[in-house]
Copies of this chain bind each other. A is one copy, B any other.
Amino acid sequence: MLELTTPERAVNQGRALSRPSTRKPSATAGRELGGSIECMGASMSFGRGVEIYGEGEPAEYFYKVLSGAVRTRKVLIDGRRQVGGFYLPGDVFGLEAGENHAFTAEAITACKVLVIKHSAIVARAKLDHAVAFELWLLSSNEVRRLQAHLLLLIKNAPERVAAFLLGLAERASPGDSIELPMSRQDIAEHLGLTVETVSRTISYLQSVGAIELSSVRRIVLQDRSALKRFDP
């Protein structure tokens, strides 16, 4: 099983292997992409903070998170930042067809990602119609995720944070305890708030008994219904 890994020292060097086109993506690990697509692409590892692809680069690959966590973000010229989404194991990102990526993708934690060339999928889609359908379904899921995120951004701070925590718990953890792979800053940029407001809001949710912090990055959802009360 061929596995491409970025050397440790790449961690703080910005871009690392974001254009795997120079490698032959021979068939390997990949379990399934969405459902019926399997056994295509290469597994790659990225260190914490390393860029997976950059804004403006041609979108030639899909990426499926195998382990760790990834964020997509865009930085405006005046420095404001927006995190488009967080991707956890099982999630697929980089779905934008044609053209170039509008966002940059970065590893939040060390992570493994299955990388699949668009053209490989399209070629397979011609043989297997289920693959073509899968492709549509994946983009479609991303549309839904973005639609839901739009709704978040019209709410107030407690509602945004509560919805974020509930969403994360639903995706990432079986129980009521969630490990946050991302920083407060990341959360803030995702929710369209400042770090201070996120921090204050988390404190507030704690003060009303909705959540409990066993550590800074580990949150226990003490009272889900209280949280849901914020989420109309």
* Interface, chain A (partner B; CB < 8 A): 74, 76-78, 80, 82, 84, 95-99, 102-103, 122, 125-126, 129, 132-133, 135-137, 139-144, 146-151, 153-155, 192, 232
Contact = CB atoms under 8 A, between A and B. Distances in A.
A122 B133 contact: yes
- How many chain copies? 2
Given A78-B232, A129-B126, A232-B76, A143 B139 contact: yes
Nearest to A102: B147
24 contacts: A74-B147, A74-B151, A76-B151, A80-B154, A80-B232, A82-B151, A84-B150, A96-B143, A97-B139, A97-B141, A98-B140, A102-B147, A122-B129, A125-B133, A129-B132, A132-B135, A132-B136, A139-B139, A139-B140, A139-B142, A139-B143, A143-B146, A146-B147, A149-B150
Contacts of A151: 74, 76, 82
Contacts of A154: 80, 82, 153, 192
A83 to B, nearest CB: 9
B147 A97 contact: no
**A-B pairs with the 7 shortest C-beta distances?**
A139-B139, A97-B140, A146-B146, A132-B132, A153-B153, A154-B192, A78-B232
Contact of A147 (B103, B140, B148): B103
